[in-house]
A and B are shown apart, each in its own frame.
Chain A
Amino acid sequence: MEYFIKIIKESIIIVFISSLIGIVTGTFLSSNDEILNTIPFILLTLPAINSLIGDISTIMISRLTTQLLIGSIPPRIKKTQRLIEDFIGLFLTIILSLIILLAAGYIIAYYMELKLMNLIEVLIIIILTVVVMFVIIFLVMFMISILLFKKGKDPNNFLIPFITSLIDFLSPFLIILFIIIFI
């Protein structure tokens, strides 16, 4: 039962913390519902935006873990060709996916007859939020993965639960912050 114990030991605390972040997010959304309700396009696309950043972060972490295990990325905080290639590949993927998401959201909003006010500002806010979060998450997750790997821990068990919950909190937080600043 070595693998079982390792998974439980490495995951339990972080999964508990992540779930608490989820409850804080629910409370944060409930208390800011007036701001979000004024821009229904954001309400419609927010879960998909969270999933998009969450998916790319999960891919980033699981790839980093595997590459550290097989040795294609050295366990040092150092810029390598492999890392640059992953950064550019994932960045281009998230931008292309975001374009698809916004187009699909626009079509749904059009057919649901949602009010599309301040559309350009809203699109800029969403793109800015995704880009800022991607760059920060990539750099921070890379550094933490190296540190965890050096300590003999599996970054998959620690970082994936933590980052998905943090994204669920940070993306509405940044969107609300940018709405207050720009609109």
Chain B
Amino acid sequence: MEREDSRFTLIKEILPSETLSIIGSLAAGIILSLLLLQFKSFPILILLIPALLSLRGNISSPFIARTAKDLIIGDFNKRNIIENILSTYLLAIATACLIGLFTFIVNFFFFKLEYFSFEFFILIPLISMLFTLSLVIVISIVLNSLVFKFGLNPNNVIPPIMTAIGDFFNVVFFYLTLIILGVP
């Protein structure tokens, strides 16, 4: 059940996880710049990254919010969890393909860089997103349930923690995908 959180409860519950999120985002930024600069195709990769980072937020944040809402209103059951997961994967696959397609079009008309072929534009966001999402879904369900069990409000605590975890692993899986695909 949702408690009537005071302003101080909000600060007490959000600030520690937000601090973790800030450290995670700063670390992700540093790792991103250090790892990606070594790729020849960096000018194209930098076009994909903002869309990919916001895709993780667009897909996983509503998933986390829906899970928290289901827990609080008492709708957290096996069927809802499965349908929530399946819809999240479907949205991620469709959107990753769209991001790849539009990045290809933007590059084709404006930047005209020829570092890799069309299929890489689709495969890079798709594979790295599926890796990240698989991890984020499991961790967020476990954390949401644990936080709720301990009497905290998952709406306050989980989103910043998952931003830190999601942003960090998004960068790691993006890098791994580039290695797996042999991107120049």
Contacts and interface: CB of A to CB of B under 8 A. Distances in A.
A149 B14 CA distance: 25
Contacts of B90: 8
A69 B69 contact: yes
A16 B95 contact: yes
B146 interface: no
B62 A22 contact: no
A48 B98 contact: no
A59 B91 contact: no
Contacts of B110: 27
Contacts of A105: 26
Contacts of A66: 2, 68-69, 72-73, 155
Nearest to A51: B25
A96 B91 contact: no
Interface in A2-52: 2-4, 7-8, 11-12, 15-16, 18-23, 25-27, 29-30, 44-48, 50-52
Contact of A100 (B22, B29, B49, B59): B22
Given A19-B58, A22-B55, A164-B58, A3 B7 contact: no
Contacts of A62: 64-65, 68-69, 155, 159
Nearest 9 pairs of A and B residues by beta carbon: A89-B10, A22-B51, A89-B7, A161-B58, A4-B83, A62-B65, A7-B87, A48-B25, A22-B54
Nearest to A88: B7
> Is the contact region of chain B dominated by helix, strand, or loop, or is it mixed?
helix
A25 B99 CA distance: 13
Interface stretch (A123-131, A152-160, A174-182): A152-160
Interface residues of B, number: 71
> Is the contact region of chain A dominated by helix, strand, or loop, or is it mixed?
helix
B11 interface: yes
Interface of A: 1-4, 7-8, 11-12, 15-16, 18-23, 25-27, 29-30, 44-48, 50-52, 54-56, 58-59, 61-63, 65-67, 69-70, 72, 82, 85-86, 88-90, 92-93, 96-97, 100-101, 104-105, 108, 154, 156-157, 160-161, 164-165, 168
B26 A104 contact: yes
Contacts of B65: 58, 61-62, 65, 156, 160
Contact of B7 (A27, A85, A101): A85
A140 B61 CA distance: 19
Contacts of B159: 55, 58-59, 62
